Structure 1
Amino acid sequence: MPPTIKDDIGLPPGELFIGGAWVAADGVREILDPATGAAVASVAQAGPAETQLALAAARRAFDDGSWSGLAPRERGRILLRAAEILRGQAEELARLESLDTGKPIMFTRMVDVATTIDQIDYYGALAAGIEGSVRRTGRPTFAYTRREPIGVVAAITPFNFPLILSSIKIAPALAAGNTVIHKPAEETPLTALRIAEVLHEAGVPDGVFNVLPGDGSVGETLVRDPRVDKIAFTGSTAVGRGIAAAAAETLKHVTVELGGKSANIMFADADLEAAINTAISGFVFNTGQFCMAGSRLLVQRPVYDEVVAALAGAIGHVPVGDPFDEGTVIGPMAGPRHLAKVRAFLDKAGQGGAKVYGGGPVHDGPGFWAAPTVLADVSQDSTFVQDEIFGPVLTVQPFDTEDEAVALANGTQYGLAAGLQTTDIARAHRVAERLRAGIVWVNGWALLDAALPFGGVNQSGYGREGGPEGLDEYLQTKSVLISVA
């Protein structure tokens, strides 16, 4: 058989990266191809000894000033060099991310890899602007502020966007002068190890960036150890609460981007064809494994039946299949436990009077597959509306007035993202102001850029990632006053 795009993917070393070197460990985990369930790589798993080694390396590298003592512009140059190296490896990196996660290759190229390079580029450029300011006071002093790194950062990331959700933490943390210990998700560590190779090649000093694949005990140690000064976490709300509580024991800085149940409001005046396409892409993107997925669709009653019919007719035609097929839009889920969670929800899909469209078997072979499913006429108190499913499941609810739409949209514990589809610009501004979410999209979904911050309110977390606000999360301010009397 001729070789395919899936053949000959260059795997990173299957070891830990600590103190600028590859380190073996007693524990090993097999990494599965989500499309087939077959093992494709073996990666060392950090235990207590390796975790302590990384903590010591990161603390030493920060305290000796080899990175924090560099001029911010020089740190920025190194990050820009890393972005350039990644740009030259973009295709290989996209294939590695698809192999690791099951994402369609079209999206890993256009979204995951492109966004990662953009984020590192952005913070590499932004680093040169890190500076304090002179302040006028009522005292006989020369007063100024300094913007300084926080210290050792533990970046703990999930399985759904390994590249993007890692680089959005690593790039600003390094630009600010911190050292980093990255604990990637157990299931998807491959691109984290590749990033370690690239940063090392770009000139990041030994110990400044470390990667510890492993289970939750690694993260727990990082959260509780006093040598760590900040936790940057993306994941579930339940885990995020525990991390925030544990980090409080040593008064660490914390940012947590947590669960979401984002509402997409479709008004009757919207461009319906475009709005329906947006609604579909908003919930099937990354097989629904997206904390900002548009998993709740609210439709104004005059067009409700038309929209539900269009969704019911369309979802069976969204291409599902091999992630390495250029035409695939929906790939497999990242692993068996995530699939089991989604199937547990779908087993109850017909309860409570909801109308079910789609779903059912999607693939006869091995792997971790879930079919896109639409649930119409769902009540606001339904678990499908209130709980994060993290799979390709869309609920659809009708509304009459703008006030009702806002109340429904804000009517969950979450507040990560929201959207509205309308041709009325005054309504767009008016409703966007009232939605309790960290980011609001109008006539689109998942429109993200390195220059703009995102993050949650309510049970979706706190802190911001992206933009200059994302850099601020890794800096602290010191005031200096020199008496001139």
Structure 2
Amino acid sequence: MQTSSWKFRVSLEMGKIFVEGVGEVQEYVDVCDYAVGLSRMIGGPILPSERPGHALIEQWNPVGLVGIITAFNFPVAVYGWNSAIAMICGNACLWKGAPTTSLTSVAVTKIIAKVLEDNKVPGAICSLVCGGADIGTAMARDERMDLLSFTGSTKVGKQVALMVQERFGRSLLELGGNNAIIVFEDADLNLVIPSALFAAVGTAGQRCTTARRLFLHESIHDEVVAKLAQAYAQVRIGDPWDPDTLYGPLHTKEAVKMFLDAVEQAKQQGGSVVYGGKVINRPGNYVEPTIVTGLPHNAPIVHTETFAPILYVLKFKEEEEVFAWNNEVKQGLSSSIFTKDLGRIFRWLGPKGSDCGIVNVNIPTSGAEIGGAFGGEKHTGGGRESGSDSWKLYMRRSTCTINYSKDLPLAQGIKFQ
């Protein structure tokens, strides 16, 4: 597959650094490999029937047409998750990418169409439509759309869910995240610093899995903040096409304004900017990656998902309180702890631990693998994409009973004579 043009278009339109664009294209390739293997494994169980001479099976069939609406920040990979799984389940796809990354959408669609047609399959199986919110609204309301997969903000996702539910349609929602990393006093700081840096600064803070809250045990708070600020100072900022660049621009001028507004609100609510907080004086939508300390865990700005590289560093004392603080935000996408305590790890994974769809230990909040189902709870929408049994969302289920006897026994032993 010709992937070089994808990578450049991702950097050109989205602003993502080149190596992340390469990673995103690779993710699509990987999910295609995953889907091909999965296509040989999809099936329903044969269940024991309580009636003699009867077979009970579960049959899975394609839903039909899957509408896919994706966001600007992953203009290749998220469509890959959806389209690859949808196709091996027997569905056709109609994709609406973000209007600000339309060149990437066109490039991806042309490559997919060629692959399909080279294999004697109509390229229209993966069709593309470009446009704004009016096109998305039409897709959400169209009863011919058997499943609508939407990736984007919680605000818009709520509107999409209502429109789809109004016609009793099916939706798959992957919405916002206000993700936290929790660092305990026994954590390996050699893991913590690069993990927090990548999770907070990667993609210039424009991932749904970006770390926006960093909870530090009071005994290590000052040390970690100092080391993190030192690491931030070493981030290479520049042209996203330059392979040495680690941090590129925000996507739009509106994102820059949102960044500045959030920094100002953080100051007004009692926070102190210990690193960054300003616009960078160079062409493009560049802002400084930012660290804010001193805010209470329940400050309104801390509970707001700002799609920008702002990390709120918060101090805690006890495990129970910080687990509760992780869960108190409306979103429930990704979460991480850093600790060597085995008991704490399993408490974190258990019912009184993280309430997120992605629950990590000693790794950052971002960088999910395709083999695990991706998605979250609460205002993140509850959807799951890519791995595990997420294929079931792209299919409809029938429970089938076959009577191969000459009798007609009823379930539950009912007699009707």
CA distance in 2, matches of 1:90, 1:378: 44
CA distance in 1, matches of 2:328, 2:109: 42
CA distance in 1, matches of 2:257, 2:381: 25
Q: Which of 359, 365, 368 is 2:282 aligned to?
A: 365
Matched, 1:174 2:94: no
Which secondary structure state, in structure 2, belongs to the residue aligned with residue 284 of structure 1?
helix
Which secondary structure state, in structure 1, belongs to the residue aligned with residue 374 of structure 2?
coil
Which secondary structure state, in structure 1, belongs to the residue aligned with residue 388 of structure 2?
helix
Q: Which residue of 2 aligns with 1:160?
A: 73
Q: Which residue of 2 aligns with 1:443?
A: 362
Q: Which of 236, 244, 265 is 1:319 aligned to?
A: 236
Which secondary structure state, in structure 1, belongs to the residue aligned with residue 360 of structure 2?
strand
CA distance in 2, matches of 1:206, 1:309: 54
Taking the TM superposition and a 5 Å limit, the aligned residue runs for 1:134-153 are 134-139=46-51, 140-153=53-66
Shift of residue 336, structure 1, vs aligned partner = 2.0
Matched, 1:130 2:42: yes
CA distance in 2, matches of 1:482, 1:428: 47
Paired AA for residue 105 in structure 2: A
Paired AA for residue 13 in structure 2: D
Q: Which residue of 2 aligns with 1:186?
A: 99
Q: Which of 327, 337, 349 is 2:254 aligned to?
A: 337
Matched, 1:120 2:32: yes
> CA 1:338–1:362 in structure 2 vs 1: closer, same or farther (change >3 Å)?
closer
Q: Which residue of 2 aligns with 1:35?
A: none
Which secondary structure state, in structure 1, belongs to the residue aligned with residue 59 of structure 2?
strand
Deviates further, 139-148 or 292-301: 139-148
Shift of residue 159, structure 1, vs aligned partner = 0.5
Q: Contact 1:115–1:164 (CA<8 Å) still a contact in 2?
A: yes
Shift of residue 467, structure 1, vs aligned partner = 1.2
- Across the aligned residues of Structure 1 and Structure 2, the Cα RMSD in angstroms comes to 1.5
> CA 1:361–1:301 in structure 2 vs 1: closer, same or farther (change >3 Å)?
closer
Shift of residue 113, structure 1, vs aligned partner = 1.4
Which secondary structure state, in structure 1, belongs to the residue aligned with residue 43 of structure 2?
coil
CA distance in 2, matches of 1:127, 1:340: 45
> CA 1:238–1:124 in structure 2 vs 1: closer, same or farther (change >3 Å)?
same
Which secondary structure state, in structure 2, belongs to the residue aligned with residue 187 of structure 1?
helix
CA distance in 2, matches of 1:453, 1:280: 25
Question: Which runs of structure 1 show a deviation greater than 3 angstroms over 4 or more consecutive aligned residues?
Answer: 360-363
Q: Which residue of 1 aligns with 2:414?
A: none
> Normalising by structure 2, what TM-score?
0.91
Deviates further, 464-473 or 209-218: 464-473
Paired AA for residue 393 in structure 2: E
CA distance in 2, matches of 1:473, 1:202: 25
CA distance in 2, matches of 1:236, 1:447: 19
Shift of residue 144, structure 1, vs aligned partner = 2.4
Paired AA for residue 41 in structure 2: G
Q: Contact 2:113–2:124 (CA<8 Å) still a contact in 1?
A: no
Paired AA for residue 167 in structure 1: G
Taking the TM superposition and a 5 Å limit, the aligned residue runs for 1:65-464 are 85=1, 89-109=2-22, 111-139=23-51, 140-203=53-116, 204-433=121-350, 434-445=353-364, 446-464=366-384
CA distance in 1, matches of 2:231, 2:293: 14
CA distance in 1, matches of 2:281, 2:308: 19
Paired AA for residue 262 in structure 1: N
Shift of residue 206, structure 1, vs aligned partner = 4.1
Shift of residue 191, structure 1, vs aligned partner = 2.4
Q: 1:22-56: CA deviations, max 9, x gaps?
A: xxxxxxxxxxxxxxxxxxxxxxxxxxxxxxxxxxx
Deviates further, 205-214 or 132-141: 132-141
Q: Contact 1:415–1:458 (CA<8 Å) still a contact in 2?
A: yes
Q: 1:301-321: CA deviations, max 9, x gaps?
A: 100111122223332221111
Q: Which residue of 2 aligns with 1:20?
A: none
- The alignment of Structure 1 onto Structure 2 pairs a total of residues equal to 397
Q: Contact 1:279–1:294 (CA<8 Å) still a contact in 2?
A: yes
Q: Which residue of 2 aligns with 1:27?
A: none
Paired AA for residue 172 in structure 1: I
Q: Contact 1:166–1:192 (CA<8 Å) still a contact in 2?
A: no
Q: Which residue of 2 aligns with 1:475?
A: 395
Q: Which runs of 5+ in 1 are unaligned?
A: 1-84
